[in-house]
Structure 1
């Protein structure tokens, strides 16, 4: 068995001129992996390269794969993902993984961008202020999930109600409202954060519904799961598929 022409060409597009040392140390493994990830998987659907790369970056952050992430940042830029888009993926990850798990990715991103000659900081993308972040965050929740979210920030037991408030002003008001990525793409990368880290199936199902409301239908989400499977394996991919099916059933019932 040899690495296919398609796999070799795709790898060259991602990493021009780079030859992996694994070709020498682990030739049997790299043949099977490259042929699977860069030929069989890539050719399994019609997802465009830019979307695929954004999904993979978000998935690698969710799975805490910082070394693979650094490599794929370069590949993503070779496929047209902009530095601003990459930074927005990292920033939004903080809301879903916390700074403790994202800090190394922020540092890694800055390192890669600087090595590529890109001046930091990048152009600002914030669209909210301290005064209006709650209002705009609530509107983002409504736009994505429906009118039932208008009063959600005030709901729940008194002792924990502040967390729902933070979801509105911080998660959505501080991050989702930023330019650089639209709501549709932000919901897609959130789906990837959640599916990759595992243990978040209720939230994953909820955001699968949000994706569908934004136009990322069941077929699209299955493509996202498929393209990210080589990076997180089968158990979490199958869990994500189950959540997508549950979300599709929920959406169908509301029609």
Structure 2
């Protein structure tokens, strides 16, 4: 559908807001790679499949690698669930294949079934503090968080820990309803060097994609952290 023909006033308002006000807000810019990483993760979080398909080619042109894109989609499963992530995996595969990129991409796994829990616990401790070394013992979900979420995904190549915590923050902010986890991951970001000012810039760049209520909630969580 050609929205320039069917909804010209809406398109004019949105393009001015996104491309002039948000993109060029004084003192709040992000590097292109970081901005697109945040936007794509936000679109996953809010289930913006159509816009994701429009933005992903621009993100690849701006410097995101296919591996970075795939790693972001894979990690989203832990925060959004398989049911909400599979359409984005399909979209990524469609776009990468159309660009002549051969799939599967090079493997990024760094753990084994035997050491994934140990490595996951180490990663949790690196992000959130030494107290996390015992947290996995609290129950099945806590163990799965350590072994699966952090051991299987956070330890993979393609994205560093700062980038992985950034996209997690975006997944949580965009889906809403999980402010306690969002506050915890805002703190995790800060522990890794993604400070308050950086996270505020991330939220500002994502406002057009998730709207004002969830953006304001995210800023509140940042301030609490």
Shorter-chain TM-score bucket reads over 0.9
Residue equivalent to 2:66: 83
The superposition leaves residues 85-114 of structure 1 with CA deviations (integer Å, 9 ceiling, x where unpaired) of 000000000000110110111111111111
Aligned pair 1:92/2:75, yes or no? yes
Secondary structure at the aligned position of 2:159 is classed as coil
Residue equivalent to 1:31: 12
Structure 1 unpaired stretches of 5+:
1-19, 156-160, 248-255
Q: In the aligned structure 1, how far is the partner of 2:63 from the partner of 2:8?
A: 30
In the TM superposition, residue 22 of structure 1 has moved relative to its aligned partner by 1.8
Aligned pair 1:143/2:126, yes or no? yes
Structure 2 unpaired stretches of 5+:
none
**CA RMSD in angstroms, aligned pairs only:** 0.9
Aligned mate of 1:199, from 160, 174, 177: 177
The superposition leaves residues 172-191 of structure 1 with CA deviations (integer Å, 9 ceiling, x where unpaired) of 00000001000000000000
The superposition leaves residues 35-61 of structure 1 with CA deviations (integer Å, 9 ceiling, x where unpaired) of 110111011122111100000000000
Matches within 5 A, 1:34-45: 34-44=15-25, 45=28
Q: In the aligned structure 2, how far is the partner of 1:131 from the partner of 1:72?
A: 38
Matches within 5 A, 1:167-182: 167-182=145-160
Q: In the aligned structure 2, how far is the partner of 1:230 from the partner of 1:162?
A: 37
In the TM superposition, residue 67 of structure 1 has moved relative to its aligned partner by 1.0
In the TM superposition, residue 31 of structure 1 has moved relative to its aligned partner by 1.1
Aligned mate of 1:166, from 138, 144, 156: 144
Q: Aligned residue pairs: how many?
A: 223
Residue equivalent to 1:74: 57
Task: Write out the 4+ residue segments of structure 1 that deviate beyond 3 Å after TM superposition.
Answer: none
Q: In the aligned structure 2, how far is the partner of 1:118 from the partner of 1:72?
A: 18
Residue equivalent to 2:196: 218
The superposition leaves residues 231-254 of structure 1 with CA deviations (integer Å, 9 ceiling, x where unpaired) of 01000000101100000xxxxxxx
